[in-house]
A and B are shown apart, each in its own frame.
Chain A
């Protein structure tokens, strides 16, 4: 009985330890600000990411107070607020009820998932993976 309890305690402790380690690995210790950054849409293939080959490759440009998004066409929106989340940020846009939830997928390579969120639901058509522009060469293209 005692052994069983000990095993259970060990499993929970290990599980929590691994989880916090994963978050740490994703976010790391360096401070990165999403303001003044430029992102390029990438494609997820299995566990890897590759540059897009289609004609339309979406871009995101975040400045101090504005964000340029390719929704149907490229448009500029005023940033209302950027809020830190456990593993990413929430970017609220002025005068609308939707926002982008940015989640780190690979913090080291600066790959993230951008989810257009409205009424608590993710709108898939406007949601995609993106890599910070300067790191595009870090992901290889499959032949």
Chain B
């Protein structure tokens, strides 16, 4: 790492230096006289610090040579930009108030039936988005990500990874997608087709925050619209590629996506 010190005159911060960010720039004590990036007037500027009788000066940024097949140097700014393009996905939010459906609707029958009408409500949400999908294909889900076994939920990381690619593909095509979730081990004995899924929801957006990348979902298991389309209905991508999170209407249930259904 110390070899970097001879590259473009950058002075490496010693581990003993005290540092903090001021206006987007990393300040240190003692002061480092090298160049730094600072966000000014809506853009990132590469500057050399003012000291002595030298004034603060802007160093023009040179674009990354993407047209040149031979990359002759490493540019940290370009590297960060490229990583942002590769790993950060564009935010999507397909949710609309008038497309949400609660499962607690008399159209499904009495209260006992409404309690288990989540899949049917999700199908209505898909139909409201003009999406044809959500059904089992030959008795199975398109992606069976997790199954309950030996008192725990076992996630297949490879299937989970493929399912995220499929979810992204569908959301980018403006298609919400029906998924099954698990919240309790052997809930009511395990009764859906995979004997694992406890509830169904509809994924309808994606974004990220300080906790990581997440998917937004319609919650049909509440009669309150504000909870049904809440911004707090988030499922975060985990290190094993599974999607886990909470639903706004209750703190009792923590969801893990168990299966993803096919859109046609």
Interface residues of A (CB under 8 A from B): 52, 54-56, 71-73, 75-76, 95-98, 116, 118-119, 123-127
On whether A98 and B193 interact (CB within 8 A), knowing A71-B116, A125-B113, A126-B116, the answer reads no
Query: Which residue of the partner chain A has the closest CB to B200?
Result: A72
The answer to whether B109 touches A125 (Cβ under 8 A) is: no
Residues from chain A with Cβ under 8 Å of B188 in the complex: 98, 116, 118, 123, 126
Contacting A at CB under 8 A, from B77-126, are: 106-109, 112-113, 115-120
Main secondary structure of the interface of A (DSSP, over half): loop
Considering the complex of A and B, which 8 residue pairs feature the smallest CB-CB distances, nearest first? A98-B189, A118-B189, A54-B109, A75-B193, A72-B119, A73-B119, A125-B115, A125-B116
Contacting A at CB under 8 A, from B191-224, are: 191-193, 195, 200
On whether A56 and B108 interact (CB within 8 A), knowing A76-B139, A125-B116, A126-B191, the answer reads yes
The answer to whether A56 touches B119 (Cβ under 8 A) is: no
On whether A73 and B136 interact (CB within 8 A), knowing A52-B109, A56-B113, the answer reads yes
Query: Which residue of the partner chain B has the closest CB to A55?
Result: B107
Q: A73 touches which one: B106, B115, B120, B189 (CB < 8 A)?
A: B120
Contacting A at CB under 8 A, from B52-94, are: none
The answer to whether B189 touches A71 (Cβ under 8 A) is: no
Contacting A at CB under 8 A, from B143-196, are: 186, 188-193, 195
Residues from chain A with Cβ under 8 Å of B189 in the complex: 96-98, 118-119
A17 to chain B, nearest CB (A): 37
B95 to chain A, nearest CB (A): 23
B197 to chain A, nearest CB (A): 8
